[in-house]
Structure 1
Amino acid sequence: MKLTVVGGGSTYTPELVDGLARLRDALPVEELVLVDPAADRLEPVGGLARRILARQGHPCRIVTTSDLDAGADGADAVLLQLRVGGQAAREQDETWPLECGCVGQETTGAGGLAKALRTVPVVLDIAERVRRASPDAWIVDFTNPVGIVTRALLRAGHRAVGLCNVAIGLQRKFAALLDAEPGDVHLDHVGLNHLTWETGVRLGGPGGTDVLPALLAGHGDAVARDLRLPRSLLDRLGVVPSYYLRYYYAHDEVVRDLRGGPSRAAEVAAMERELLTMYADPALDEKPALLARRGGAFYSEAAVDLVAALLGGTGSPYQVVNTLNSGTLPFLPDDAVVEVQAAVGPEGAAPLPVPAVDPLYAGLMANVTAYEDLALGAALHGGRERVFRALLAHPLVGRYATAEALTDRLIAHNREHLAWA
C-alpha cells in the first residue's frame, strides 16, 4: 500500500508517521511518500519519520521528493496538508481583519476567505495531477478551509473526503470524562466544517443511550472552560458547540482578546522553528512533546481510520467526515459539504440520517453555506465583486462598509497569490 502526503514537510507529519507505526494492523502502509517543495523542511521531517518507524520496527519505506507527479504515481491514497503562503500568510489573515473590527482567524471570516482564495486553485491543480498519476486514488483533504476545499474537489469530480480533528478531539475528551473507551463514544455531530454542534453523545454506537444531559450536568464546567464559553450558555443550549462557535457567540470578546496578544501564527511559527531544529537531531526517534502544542491532536488516528476504511473497509464503520450533503440536511443544497457522521467504506462516505435540526443552528448553517458557495465562486473565477459578495454574506462581517474595507485589504495582502488581481 502506498500513501502520499502532499505537504509532507509539515511539522504535523511526525504525528501522522507515529500513528501509522502504532496502527499498522489497521493500515499496513508499505511506502510513504512525503512531497514538499521546501527541502529545508522536508529533509529533517523525513529523517525523523524514518527514525520513528525504525524505533517501532515498522518496515515502511519513506521517500521524500519535490516531484508531485512521481510521488503520486501508483498511490492508493493522497493526503493533502498544505499551507499556501506559509505561516507568513496566516499571520496576515489573523491581523488585517482586526483593523476592521472583525475576527482575524485563518479558517473563518475574512481570513478564512483569503486562505480559500489562495488554496483552492492550488489544490485543484494538485488533484488533477493526482488523477492523471493514479486515477483510483482517494484524496483525503486536511487542508483548511476543509469544507470549501472539499466542495471544490467534489465539484470537480475527484474521489475526495474532507477530514478535521475537532470531532475526534471531542470524542476523546468525552470518553475521558465518562471513563469510557473512545471507540464506545458516538457523537451526534452536525454542521459544517468548523461550525458544528454535538447534539448527542451516545455510548455503544449510533443507537446507544444519549448521555449528553448527564455529561453536561456532571462535567459542564470543564467542557465550558475548554470552549471558553459560559457554562450557563451550554446549559441553555443543551448541546456542545465546537470551539470555533466562540467566534460567533462571543465575537466582540474574541476581537478584544486577539488585539491584546501575539497572533497564533507568530506562536506557531516560533514553535515550528523549534520543532524543525529538534527534528534535525539524529538522536531524536519519537515525536517530541512540543508537537502536542502545535495543534492537530489525534490527527493521526483520524487519518489512519479514514484511509483504512476507504481502502479496505477495515477502519471504523462510522466516522465524522466532510462530504456531500445529498439531502442529509434538507435545508441545505444537495451539493453543500457537511460535517456529519457517515458510514465510510471503499465506495466513499454516506452520511447517516440526522434528526431535525433546531432552527438556532440550521439558520447559521444555511447562512455560512451561502457564504461558502460565494467563496468558492470567488476562488474559482476571481474578481473584486465576488470577494465583496462573499464577505458581505459572511455572518462575521455582514455590513457593506466593513465588507468593502476588508475586500481592499484582502486583495492587497494576497495579490501575489491571486492570478486575477
Structure 2
Amino acid sequence: MRLTILGGGGFRVPLVHRALLGDHAAGRVTHVTLHDLDAGRLSAIGRVLAEQAEGIAGAPRVTVTTDLDAALKGADFVFSAIRVGGLEGRAADERIALEEGVLGQETVGAGGIAYGLRTVPVALDIARRVAAIAPDAWVINFTNPAGLVTEAMSRHLGDRVIGICDSPVGLGRRVARALGADPHEAWMDYAGLNHLGWLSGLRVGGRDQLPRLLADSEALVSFEEGKLFGADWLRALGAIPNEYLHYYYFSRESVRAAQEAELSRGAFLRDQQRGFYALTERGGESALEAWERTRAEREATYMAESREAVGVGARDARDLDGGGYEHVALALMRAIARNERATLILNVRNGSTLPVPDAEAVVEVPCLVDANGAHPLPVSPLPDHATGLVCQVKAVEREVMAAADSGSRAAALKAFALHPLVDSVRVARRLLDTYAREHAGLSYLRP
C-alpha cells in the first residue's frame, strides 16, 4: 500500500512514520512518499526517518519529491499536512491579532481566519490534483483549520476526504482515566466542529459515567480540561468541552496571557524548529535525537498560555508522548484498507447527524469506519448555547470559502467581523488590511 504525505518535511512526520513501523500486518503501508516545497526540510526529515527505521525489518520504503503530481501518482492514501506560509506566517497571524487586542491562535479567531484564507485556495488546488491523478485515493486531512479545510476539499473529493484531530481522543482518554475506566472500552458521545466540540457522555458497559464524574469535584479537576475550565463551570455546562473552547469561555484571560508571554506559540515553534532544521543540516549529531529533544519541549509547552491564564501547572506526563494524530490516522487507514471496522471521532460531512448545520457542513462526530469510508453515528443533540456557537463559527468558515472561491474581499471581511472573538467591524477591517499587507498568499483578495 502506498502512502503520500503532503507537507512531508513537516516536524510531526516522524510520528506518523513511527506508527507505520509498528504495523506488521498484511496490507500495511510499504511505500511512503514525502512531498514538500522545501527540499531542505525534506532532507532533514528523511534523515530522521532513516535513523528511526534502522534495524526494523519490513520498514516502508521512503522517497522524497518536490513534484506534487509525481507524489500523488499511484497513491492509495494521501495525508495532507501542509502549512501555507510556514511558522513565520503563524507567528505573524498571532502578532497582528494581539496588536488589535484579539486572539491570534492558529485555528481560533482572527489568526485562524487569516490562516484559512491563505490555506483554502492551496487545499482546493490539491483536491483538484488528487481527483485528476489519484481519483481512488483516500485523503486524510491533518491541515489546520482542519474542519474548514476538509469541507473545502470535500467539494471536489466528496466523502473520500476525512479530517482528523487528536484533541477528542486525548479528551476521551483523560476523562476515562479520571473515572478509572479503560479508554479503549469507553464510547464518547461527542459532537461539534473541529476545536469546537463537547463531550456530553462517556459510556462504559452501556452506562453513561459522565454524571458520576461531574458529581466528584476531586476527580473533575484531576485532568487537563477540569483544571482549565474549573469544576463549577463544567457542572454548569453538564459536559466537558474540547480544550480549545478555553479560548471562547476565557477569552480575555487568554488574550492577556498571550500578550504577556515572551513569545507567542507560533514564534516559539518558529524559532525552535529553525534550530532543529539548521542543526540537522549541519550534521554532526543524530537527527533522531535532535528531533526527540525538540519534540519533548514542544509537547511540554502545548497550550502553556491557557494554563498560565488560569493558574494551571505543567501538563500531565501521560499527555507528553506526542501520540494522537498518527494513531487516529493509522486506525483510519486500517479500517478502510482492510475493512477492520473501527469507531473514531472524525471530521466528516454532517448528513443528518446534527439538526444544524446543514448536510454538507463538515462536523466532528463519532464515526463507524469500514471499507466504504466513515459513517457518522447518532449523537446527542447539542444544547442551544453550543448550537449557536457552532452555527456562528460555521458561518465564518463559509465566508472564508466564499472568499477563496471568488477572491471577494467583502467575504473575507465578513469572516473576520462575524467571528465571536472579533468584537468590532472596524477591528475586523484593520485586521484584514494588515494581514493582506503581510501575506503574499492573500494577494488574490480584491474589492
Band of TM-score, shorter chain: over 0.9
In structure 2, do the counterparts of structure 1 residues 55 and 183 end up closer, same or farther at CA, with 3 Å as the change threshold?
A: farther
Counterpart-to-counterpart distance in 1, 2:157 and 2:127: 10
Q: What's the secondary structure of 2:33's corresponding residue?
A: strand
1:320 lines up with 2:318 in the alignment:
no
Quote the offset at 1:179 in angstroms.
4.1
Q: What pairs up with 1:187-336 in 2 under 5 angstroms?
A: 187-204=188-205, 208-216=206-214, 217=216, 218-223=218-223, 228-261=228-261, 262-276=263-277, 277=279, 283=286, 288-295=292-299, 297-314=323-340, 317-336=342-361
Counterpart-to-counterpart distance in 2, 1:325 and 1:138: 18
Contact map agreement 2:409 2:445 (CA 8 A) in 1: no
* Paired letter, 1:245: L
Contact map agreement 1:116 1:379 (CA 8 A) in 2: no
Quote the offset at 1:331 in angstroms.
2.3
In structure 2, do the counterparts of structure 1 residues 25 and 293 end up closer, same or farther at CA, with 3 Å as the change threshold?
A: farther
In structure 2, do the counterparts of structure 1 residues 227 and 289 end up closer, same or farther at CA, with 3 Å as the change threshold?
A: farther
Q: What's the secondary structure of 1:47's corresponding residue?
A: helix
Other-structure match for 2:18: 18
Contact map agreement 2:34 2:71 (CA 8 A) in 1: yes
Quote the offset at 1:88 in angstroms.
0.6
In structure 2, do the counterparts of structure 1 residues 292 and 196 end up closer, same or farther at CA, with 3 Å as the change threshold?
A: farther
Gaps of 5+ in 2: 300-321
Counterpart-to-counterpart distance in 1, 2:376 and 2:226: 28
Counterpart-to-counterpart distance in 2, 1:4 and 1:153: 17
Q: TM-score, normalised by structure 1?
A: 0.93
Contact map agreement 1:275 1:291 (CA 8 A) in 2: no
Quote the offset at 1:28 in angstroms.
0.9
Quote the offset at 1:58 in angstroms.
3.3
* Paired letter, 1:147: G
* Paired letter, 1:154: S
Counterpart-to-counterpart distance in 1, 2:380 and 2:324: 28
Counterpart-to-counterpart distance in 1, 2:114 and 2:226: 28
Deviation digits for residues 340-391 of structure 1 (CA, Å, limit 9, x no counterpart): 0011122221111122221121111111111111121112212221111111
Contact map agreement 1:117 1:379 (CA 8 A) in 2: yes
Q: What's the C-alpha RMSD, in Å, of the aligned pairs?
A: 2.1
Counterpart-to-counterpart distance in 1, 2:366 and 2:5: 25
Give the structure, 1 or 2, with the largest relative contact order (CA under 8 Å, sep 6 or more). 1
* Paired letter, 2:399: L
Q: What pairs up with 1:62-77 in 2 under 5 angstroms?
A: 62-77=62-77
Contact map agreement 2:37 2:66 (CA 8 A) in 1: yes
Contact map agreement 2:220 2:226 (CA 8 A) in 1: no
Quote the offset at 1:245 in angstroms.
0.6
Quote the offset at 1:338 in angstroms.
0.3
Contact map agreement 1:224 1:230 (CA 8 A) in 2: no
Counterpart-to-counterpart distance in 1, 2:175 and 2:270: 30
Gaps of 5+ in 1: none
Contact map agreement 1:175 1:185 (CA 8 A) in 2: yes
Counterpart-to-counterpart distance in 2, 1:282 and 1:75: 34
In structure 2, do the counterparts of structure 1 residues 49 and 404 end up closer, same or farther at CA, with 3 Å as the change threshold?
A: same
Other-structure match for 1:48: 48
Q: What's the secondary structure of 2:197's corresponding residue?
A: strand
In structure 2, do the counterparts of structure 1 residues 27 and 412 end up closer, same or farther at CA, with 3 Å as the change threshold?
A: farther
Query: Where does structure 1 differ by over 6 angstroms across 4 or more consecutive aligned residues?
Result: none
Quote the offset at 1:282 in angstroms.
6.3
1:355 lines up with 2:380 in the alignment:
yes
Contact map agreement 2:348 2:363 (CA 8 A) in 1: yes
Counterpart-to-counterpart distance in 1, 2:363 and 2:426: 30
Other-structure match for 2:398: 373
Quote the offset at 1:401 in angstroms.
2.0
Q: What's the secondary structure of 2:79's corresponding residue?
A: strand
Q: TM-score, normalised by structure 2?
A: 0.88
Q: What's the secondary structure of 1:321's corresponding residue?
A: strand
Q: What's the secondary structure of 2:422's corresponding residue?
A: coil
Contact map agreement 1:117 1:378 (CA 8 A) in 2: yes
Other-structure match for 2:85: 85
In structure 2, do the counterparts of structure 1 residues 115 and 405 end up closer, same or farther at CA, with 3 Å as the change threshold?
A: same
In structure 2, do the counterparts of structure 1 residues 389 and 284 end up closer, same or farther at CA, with 3 Å as the change threshold?
A: closer
Other-structure match for 2:425: 400
Quote the offset at 1:26 in angstroms.
7.9
Quote the offset at 1:85 in angstroms.
0.6
Contact map agreement 1:227 1:243 (CA 8 A) in 2: no
Counterpart-to-counterpart distance in 1, 2:123 and 2:356: 29
Choose from 405, 415, 422 the match for 1:390. Answer: 415
Counterpart-to-counterpart distance in 1, 2:36 and 2:412: 29
Deviation digits for residues 69-127 of structure 1 (CA, Å, limit 9, x no counterpart): 11111110000001011001000111111222211111121111111111111111122
